Structure 1
Amino acid sequence: MQRIVRAELDLRIEGALDLILAVTVAAGVSRDSEEFVLRQGGVDLTPTELTDASGTRLHRLHVEPGLVTVTYAATVGGQTEMIDATALETAVYLRPSRYAPSDAVFSQARRLFGGLRGADLISAVEQYVFDTVTYSPGLSHGTDSAVNTLATGQGVCRDYAHLVIALLRAMDVPARYAACYAPGLVPMDFHAVAEAYLDGQWWVLDATRLSNRRGLVRIATGRDAADCAFLSSYGGDLALTRMVVDAQVMGEPEVIDAASDPTADDRSALVAIR
C-alpha cells in the first residue's frame, strides 16, 4: 500500500525567533521519496533535524522577520514494521500529563469501566468517548484538557484523543498520543489519535471515527498534544497565514477504500499505525 502525504505552511514572522516544526513522517516510516523545503525571501533555509526517543523528527531553525514558506511531500511505501513497546514507554505513558490528567478522571473511569480488562476495556473506552463527545470545530481551546472535554462533551480530534488516553491511564492501561496524516479524513487536517498498550504492542484508537486507522501515517508520538505540536516558536511573533494538508492512498479502488474510507474500518479489530 502506497500513501502520499503533503503539507504546506505560510508563516508570517515578526521579530526573529526559533522555529520548531513536526510535519515530516516519523523516523522508521518507510519512504520511497521525501522533499522538505523551507524558504524565506527566495533563499532555502537549512534546519537542524532532531529525532526524539519515540521517533518524532523535529526540524529546528532560527528565522528573521518576513514570510517563511514550508513545503513537505513524501511517498510512503509499504507498512512500517511493528516494534515491541519498551518497559520505559509503558511506565511513562501510565503517568498523568498536562492534557491527559488521568488522576483527575480516576473516579469516573473506575465507575464506568470497573471490571473490564484487555481488549474489552480498550473498546469500551473508545465507544464511550465516541458516544458522549460531539465533534465541534471551533468550540474547544488549545488549553483544554480531558477534564474539559469530559465536562462539556465537545471537542476536536485532539480532545477525543486526550479523553481516551486519560481514561485508559486511570484504568492502569498505558496510553499515548499520536499525530498523523490521515487519508480520507474530512475535513482534511493533521489528525490526532490515541494508542493503547496491550500484549506488548501499541494499538490505535480513533474515537472520532473520522479516519480509517489502516491508512494512518505517523508524524509524532508523545504523552499528549504538548509533545506533538506541528508548529512551535520561541522569541518573536508568528502568524500561520495558510495551511494545506493532504493524504491519499494510491492503488486499486478496493485498496483505497480499505485504507481511507472511515466506514470500512472494523472498529472491533485491533489495528496498529503502520
Structure 2
Amino acid sequence: MASKPSTPQQQKLLAVLIDADNASAAMVEGLFEEIAKFGVASVKRIYGDWTQPNLGKWKQVLLDHSIQPIQQFAYTRGKNATDSALIIDAMDLLYTRRFDGFCLVSSDSDFTRLAARLREEGLTVYGFGEEKTPAPFVSACDKFIYTEILRADAAQAADEPAGNGDKGKTTAGSVPAEPAKSAAKKKPQKVPVDFIAKIIDDVNDEDGWVELGMLGQSIGKLRPAFDARLYGFKKLSDLIKGQAKRFELQVRGSSATGGEALYVRNRKAGR
C-alpha cells in the first residue's frame, strides 16, 4: 500500500484555551492573528460562568471566531472552578496526542504548573496575558505575548489608511530601521541592549557574527516575553537596525533557502 505523502511544512495543530475571567474580549482579533503565526487553532474553547453579566461582551466575539464556550458554575464563593475545568480539559486534550502545542490565554498564575506539565510532554506552550501576569507563569511558557500589544496592533490596523503598501520599501542591500506606529498611548520600553549584546557574545561565531533567527531563539529561551513591539518596533530586525551604535548588521545569501539572511554582531568601540 502506498504511503501517505509527507508534508514537511505542515502547520502545527494548536489547542487554544481561554480563561474568560482573566482575558478581555477586545484583544481576540489580534489574538487569533498572532496564533496564526504559530500554527492552526484546531480547538478553540473559552471557560467561564456564562450566567454572569460581566461576560456578556464575549457573546458576539464567540460567534465571530467560532469559539466554543464551556459553562462552569461557581460552586463556592472565592473558589475559581473555571481554572479547574480548563486544566482538566487541557490534560484530556494532551493525552489525545493530537496537538503540537497549547495556547493558554490568561493572566492568572494558577496555570503555571499546567504550562510546565505540557512542556514536560514536549509540547510548545504559548501564553497570552496582560502585563500584570505574574513572572512564574510567563517563565513557564515557551513564548509569552502580552495582550496589550495585540490590542495596539488591532487598533493600528483599523486606523491605517489604504494605499500604504509601498511604505517602508527600500533599495537592495539597505537595512533601515522601521519603528512600529504605536496605537496605544503607552510609551515603549527601553531596549535592553546590554542583554542582547550578552546573548550575541554567548552564541556568535569566531568572527562575532550570529544569524538573526538564532539570536531571536536564544533571547526567547531566557526571556519568553521578549517582543520587539514592546520597544516600539515591529520585529527583531527593526529593533536591531534601530540600535546602530551598538550592533552591526550584514546581509548574506542563504544556501539553505536561496534567499537572504541577516547576521548581527556587537559593534566594537571606535568602529
Shorter-chain TM-score range: under 0.3
* Greater relative CO (CA pairs within 8 A, separation 6+): 1
Larger radius of gyration: 2
- Structure richer in helix, relative to its length: 2
TM-score, length-scaled by structure 2: 0.23
